[in-house]
Each structure stands twice: as C-alpha cells, then as structure tokens.
Amino acid sequence: MSKALTTPAALTIHPSDPTVNVFLGTLCVTVEQREVHASIAHDIEIIGSYDADKIRTRPSYVCGILIQSRGDLAFPPCNKCQNNGGKFGECRRIAGYWKGACGSCRWKDHSAQCSLVRENEAKKDLSLGTDIIGPSRVEEVDEDEDEDDEFGSSYEHPIEID
C-alpha cells in the first residue's frame, strides 16, 4: 500500500542532480521519453499532493515531469493552467512531443484537453534548440531544375562504376 506524499505548498524535484536524473532515466520506457530525457534538465516544483509510488508506475507522471523539467515556458499558458494553476508552478511544453501538451495536462493524462496541443508539429531538436524538419517544413522540388544537372547528379545522368 502506498502513502500519498502531501506537501503544503510545493515540492521541488531536482532532475538537474545526476542521481535524480539517472533515476528518472530508469523510468523512461518509450523512445519519446528517452529522447526528451537526454536533453538538459532544470528543477521543477510539484504543487499539492501526489502518490510517490505512482511516479514509478504511471507513464503520464513521468511524461509530465519530463515536459516540465525540459520544456519551454508556454506563453500564454494553456487554459487549464491559466484557470487552475496546473500541477506545476509554470506551464511548459516541448514542441512536437506528446503533441505539444503541457506538463500539467500530460501529468493528469489529459493531453487531448490541453489548449496547446498542435497536430503534426515539427519536433524540437532538444540538443540544439531548433526544430527538426517535420511535416510542416517539407519543401517541394521544382521539376524544371533537372535540365541543368551534371553527370552523376540525376536519374538521367547516373554515376557509372566499372
């Protein structure tokens, strides 16, 4: 039986601490969680009560902590965070991960209700802080450009190896 850990105001978690970060890494089971976990972390606050054992067993809690500790501040915040304050002290999201839902909505497993959700959003490159080429950044090729191709640079002019 687990005991709910209740905090009067907020509890600070330190994912920037290597020991805490290693533990959090053991909870990451999906590719998306591992990608986000590999990025730089900052400390977060969890507001109110929560069941400490559920962090180990509930993927939405892990995702919420990952979003909150690695995400960008959302401005304006999502509707739920703006009205209720959310589970964390700030509203944060990571473009393209979990459809851009904020950490508080993802914690509650209410991603679909988050006003920050964006379908087909390019994933943020967490190592560089820039967007990875995604569906919204695909460029069309101009078919007329083939006329000036040199040998070895097109289907009509293949590279021949003897």
Residues in Cβ contact with 136 at an 8 Å cutoff, skipping those fewer than 6 apart: 120, 121, 122
In a domain, 46, yes or no: yes
Q: Taking the model in full, what pTM does it have?
A: 0.70
In a domain, 30, yes or no: yes
In a domain, 126, yes or no: no
In the three-class reduction of DSSP (H, G, I as helix; E, B as strand; rest coil), residue 50 is classed as strand
Query: Per-residue pLDDT for the chain (162 aa), expressed as one digit of tens each?
Result: 444 444 445 567 777 778 888 888 889 999 999 999 998 888 888 887 777 777 888 889 999 999 999 999 998 999 999 987 788 889 999 988 999 999 999 998 888 889 998 877 777 777 654 443 333 333 333 444 444 445 555 556 666 666
In a domain, 35, yes or no: yes
Which domain covers residue 62, as residue numbers? 4-121
Asked if 11 and 56 count as a contact pair (C-beta separation under 8 A), the reply is no
In a domain, 136, yes or no: no
The dihedral region occupied by 78, where left means phi > 0, alpha psi between -120 and 50, and beta the remainder, is beta
In a domain, 37, yes or no: yes
Structural domain tally of the chain? 1
